[in-house]
Structure 1
Amino acid sequence: MVISSTSVLDVSRIRGPSIDSDHNLVADKIRTPLNAAKTKEQKTQGKLDVEKLQSQQTANDFTTRLSHLLSESTTHPEGIQEQWEHISKALRTAAEKKIGHRRPRNCNWYDEECRVATERKDAAYKATLKASATRGVCEHYRELKKEARRLFRKKKAEAERRECKELELLATRNNARKFYQKIRRQTEGFKTGANSCRNENGDLVTDVQRVLRFWREHFSVLLNGGSNSPRRDEEPDPAIDDDGIYVPPSDYDEVRIAITRLKNNKTVGADGLPAELFKCGGEELVRRMQQLLSKIWAEEYMPDGWNLSNSHLP
């Protein structure tokens, strides 16, 4: 990035941060004509560690906790939206209490020993910044820095050997899913999110609202056809033939069988509730879901969250 000297407002040297270098950081204030789109920080919902439900003890504890949360309410919600909010809140609360969220494993080699070595190195670096620092103090810092680097290399090598052994074990057990998950986690690098796109004229669009408007128009044309496609707004919808046969709502056994047939390891929806939670919910959850589905069947209305989905744009 080329910056004109007239755009530089202030330059200062920062000696505080420890960057493992003999040089000091330089901070400058510049005036730039670029307009950056300001986006609000969205609170991302962490993924639940559903693999813990494979333990029978953990699954039983989750079922007991969920049944208690579903039955402890003194007032039974009447509306469809209220019933689903009560069920989803109980599922989320029980899951966060019993299984928790999945922790990122990008730096699994950094342990307590590494933290202590880093603190010692940082304390020695701060001692070198004092006016009374001697040559011995600086030499002590350099030794601690070399020691910390050797320790980090050793920990990284040990972590890589453990990962290789785990990969070999997964391959011998024919666990293809976890095997390729580990391979992908080890090989792929950091990926940044794209918050901009180009319009029809090739111009770069960075404003969030304009980007969303552009994608909405793009998918509207893609799914509904362009301007040359025939319009069907004037055509009336075909009448639905009512044969007079009464179809009752799903009973308890049908809802239970449908829940047990849900597939594992699928992407969660907008509510963040995976299928594994429903399959370990127990009889109380099946009964509440059967009541909710019967009310939806009778009133022909679904909760608001069921109309949402997670879409990842390229």
Structure 2
Amino acid sequence: MCSADCWTDHRLIISKLNIHIQPQRRPQGQRVAKRLDFSKLECSLAAQELVSALDCKLADLQANSDDIEKDWKTLKTSVYSTALQVLGPATRNHQDWFDANDTEIQKLLKEKRQLLRAHQNDSTSTAKKAAFVSKRSIVQARLHSMLDAWLSSKVDEIQGFADRHDTKRFHDALMAVYGPPSCGSSPLLSADGTTLLKGKKEILERWVEHFDSVLNRPLSINNEAIARLPQVAINPDLDIPPSVEEVAKAFKQMSSGKAPGPDAIPAKVFKFGGPTLLKHRPTWLSHIQQGAKRAEEERTKTTEKKLELRKARAASVTDTAPTHMCPTCGRGFRSRIGLISHLRTQCSGSSTKK
């Protein structure tokens, strides 16, 4: 609509906008469960708190026998979340030599910084410069002596574990000093031994080629030899579920240093929360039985597929001519590794005897 001055009521506004388009987030895989801080269980109060928390958490937990997978997932999630809430995640375990001498190091560095600041404020003073240089030498010598003393004590500690054959503490001490190992792939030579493979994809393909030539060989199965094997009588007692006393005994005998399985529930949680977890024994027993049955079915299917694949590969191999010939006896081989084994064992032995 026009105004009294015959101008429109609209105005043109020119502006500059900075539009930031957020990049699409990559799909994240399944997160690894956090490790629990088991050092708190050394205190009896923390152990009692864990048992009480498990009692409260699992008191109202009801199992539905129709869906074992759902029941097991609910049980393990409840146990792990309760333990994580009570114990908390594990802290950094890597040790450095300056961790044990942090107070003294900070004091030495503070004195050196004060002398450095005084020298920078009055750079023409030779006395302040000499004091700073002297203090710097003293600090460096003191730090080197601290490092040597710390390394010497750690060496004695690790050597003591090795002398007592305490492999668990020996490994923990090494990991605390050096940290976790770095993951990487080492370069490999190609099949002909002329090319060095450095790419991850090429290295994996080379390993596949190697194991395919080593493991997938035509096999001759003697059914008569298999039939002569002694047959063991079937023990029906193995199908009986374990009793409560047997499960409690198994909980006590579990090693505390073992890594947790796919359920992320460590052995110490079963040890301290054993009586509470025994109440839900039918749930995880059914899960174990069904899991064992599925694993047996998958193992049978995998074995049948492998046998069919080997038979097909053996049929295809018999139709091909040998590509590697022995220069001594003229015997033919279809794989390079077979020729090498023949040269090392048979041909070399026969030539030496002659």
Taking structure 1 as the reference length, the TM-score comes to 0.53
2:289 counterpart SS class: helix
Query: Given the superposition, is the C-alpha separation of residues 192 and 181 from structure 1 closer, same or farther in structure 2, using an over 3 Å criterion?
Result: closer
Instruction: Determine which of 44, 49, 61 is the counterpart of 1:61.
Output: 49
Instruction: Determine which of 68, 71, 77 is the counterpart of 1:83.
Output: 71
Query: Given the superposition, is the C-alpha separation of residues 77 and 297 from structure 1 closer, same or farther in structure 2, using an over 3 Å criterion?
Result: closer
**CA distance in 1: counterparts of 2:263 and 2:274, whole angstroms:** 20
Contact 1:196 1:207 survives alignment (8 Å): no
Q: Does 1:107 find its partner at 2:96?
A: yes
**5+ long unaligned stretches in structure 1:** 1-39, 233-242, 303-314
Contact 2:97 2:151 survives alignment (8 Å): no
Instruction: Determine which of 219, 222, 228 is the counterpart of 1:229.
Output: 219
Contact 2:161 2:167 survives alignment (8 Å): no
Query: Given the superposition, is the C-alpha separation of residues 102 and 178 from structure 1 closer, same or farther in structure 2, using an over 3 Å criterion?
Result: farther
Query: Given the superposition, is the C-alpha separation of residues 269 and 297 from structure 1 closer, same or farther in structure 2, using an over 3 Å criterion?
Result: closer
Contact 1:167 1:182 survives alignment (8 Å): no
Aligned to 1:257: 249
**CA distance in 2: counterparts of 1:83 and 1:141, whole angstroms:** 70
Instruction: Determine which of 141, 144, 148 is the counterpart of 1:153.
Output: 144
Deviation at 1:264, TM superposition (A): 3.3
Query: Given the superposition, is the C-alpha separation of residues 102 and 254 from structure 1 closer, same or farther in structure 2, using an over 3 Å criterion?
Result: same
Contact 1:65 1:94 survives alignment (8 Å): yes
Q: Does 1:281 find its partner at 2:273?
A: yes
User: Which deviates more from structure 2 when the two are superposed, residues 212-221 or residues 62-71?
Assistant: 212-221
**5+ long unaligned stretches in structure 2:** 1-27, 223-233, 296-354
**Letter paired with 2:74:** H
**CA distance in 2: counterparts of 1:273 and 1:231, whole angstroms:** 43
Query: Given the superposition, is the C-alpha separation of residues 282 and 163 from structure 1 closer, same or farther in structure 2, using an over 3 Å criterion?
Result: same
Q: Is the helix fraction higher in 1 or 2? A: 2
Query: Given the superposition, is the C-alpha separation of residues 201 and 102 from structure 1 closer, same or farther in structure 2, using an over 3 Å criterion?
Result: farther
**Letter paired with 1:98:** L
Q: What is the correspondence of 1:23-34 to structure 2 with a 5 Å cutoff?
A: none
Q: Does 1:196 find its partner at 2:167?
A: no
Q: What is the correspondence of 1:110-259 to structure 2 with a 5 Å cutoff?
A: 110=99, 111-115=102-106, 134=123, 139=129, 142=133, 145-160=136-151, 163=154, 176-177=166-167, 180-181=170-171, 184=174, 192-198=182-188, 199-202=190-193, 203-212=195-204, 214-215=206-207, 225-230=215-220, 247-259=239-251
**Letter paired with 1:106:** Q
Contact 1:252 1:287 survives alignment (8 Å): no
Contact 1:255 1:290 survives alignment (8 Å): no
**CA distance in 2: counterparts of 1:68 and 1:219, whole angstroms:** 52
2:279 counterpart SS class: helix
2:147 counterpart SS class: helix
Bigger CA radius of gyration: 2
Instruction: Determine which of 279, 285, 288 is the counterpart of 1:293.
Output: 285
Deviation at 1:107, TM superposition (A): 0.5
**CA distance in 2: counterparts of 1:136 and 1:84, whole angstroms:** 76
**Letter paired with 1:196:** S
**CA distance in 1: counterparts of 2:257 and 2:77, whole angstroms:** 21
